[in-house]
Copies of this chain bind each other. A is one copy, B any other.
Amino acid sequence: MKMAIFLALVHHPVLDRSGRVVTTALTNVDVHDLARSGRTFGVSRSYVVTPVALQQRLVHEMVGHWQQGAGSAHLRRAEAMQRVSAMPSLDAVRTDITQRTGRAPVIAVTAARWQPEGMKPSMQQPESFALWRQRIATAGDDAQPLLLVFGTGWGLAPEVLLQADVRLPPVRRDPHLLDAEAGDGPYNHLSVRAAAAIILDRLLGDRDAP
């Protein structure tokens, strides 16, 4: 191993359609997909971030269902779910990772439409997936862990971007492979489930295997 990879799915602070900072509700299928994709690609732990105590408890109950409850006969889902935790904030996630690994994580977000003033200089330009794949491949045992942060709703609020260290490029199709059809503009409206899966594959997948 070398670099440990973590995921966080943030329900607050995120934006709604009109750009206001809100708290979104937990979506069961997001938690399952995060667990399954994380487990497939070797992610150390996935965090569901919500300040709402009732929703944190819901995550605990979902995880418990697969560990001890009716779902525990389903070993693969249980295996995936045991690496999921609820956390009240991104700060709490950072603290947990620091305690687990001994180092504070590098916080990476995917390119946002919002670029608030005061972001770290390292956030001005996206860093390519190829660069990070290389960093993961060559990381030593003392490598800083990498925390990939995804936002629900209409994306992460500016205050999360101010905490982030690295911006990854947006996921798009290759414009050279298929021509755009008449009237089509660029379109990227992937679900957070799909975007997270693709980003894990871009960083960690065996995409060039025969």
Q: Which of A166-210 contact B (CB under 8 A)?
A: 169, 171-181, 184, 187-191, 193-198, 200-210
Task: Categorize the interface residue count of chain A.
Answer: 35 or more
Say whether, besides A1-B178, A187-B79, A194-B197, A173 and B205 are in contact (CB < 8 Å).
yes
Interface residue A39 (Cβ < 8 Å from any Cβ of B): yes
Residues of B within 8 A of A201 (CB): 171, 198, 201-202
Does A19 reach chain B (CB closer than 8 Å)? no
A42 CB-CB contact with B under 8 Å: yes
Are B1 and A181 in touch, CB under 8 angstroms?
yes
Are A3 and B209 in touch, CB under 8 angstroms?
Answer: no
Binds B, one of A7-15, A50-58, A127-135: A127-135
Docked-complex contact B197 and A137, CB < 8 angstroms: no
**Selected contact of A174 from candidates B77, B128, B191, B204, CB within 8 Å:** B204
Most buried by B among A1, A3, A191: A191
Given A137-B176, A173-B206, A205-B172, does the pair A189, B2 have CB atoms closer than 8 Å? no
Cβ of A33: which chain B residues have Cβ within 8 Å of it? 191, 193-194
Instruction: Report the Cα distance A177→B80, complex, angstroms.
Output: 20
Query: A70 within 8 Å of B by Cβ?
Result: no
Q: For the complex, what is the distance from the CA of A171 to the CA of B133, rounded to whole Å?
A: 17
**Closest B residue by C-beta to A37:** B194
In the complex, what's the smallest C-beta–C-beta distance from A45 to chain B, in angstroms? 12
Q: 0/1 per residue, A2-37, Cβ < 8 Å to B? A: 110100000000000000000000000100110011
Interchain CA distance A130-B77 in the complex, whole Å: 30
Q: Does A60 contact B (CB under 8 A)?
A: no
How far apart sit A202 and B202, CA to CA, in the bound complex (Å)? 9
Of all A-B residue pairs in the complex, the 3 with the closest CB atoms, nearest first, are A194-B197, A42-B178, A174-B206
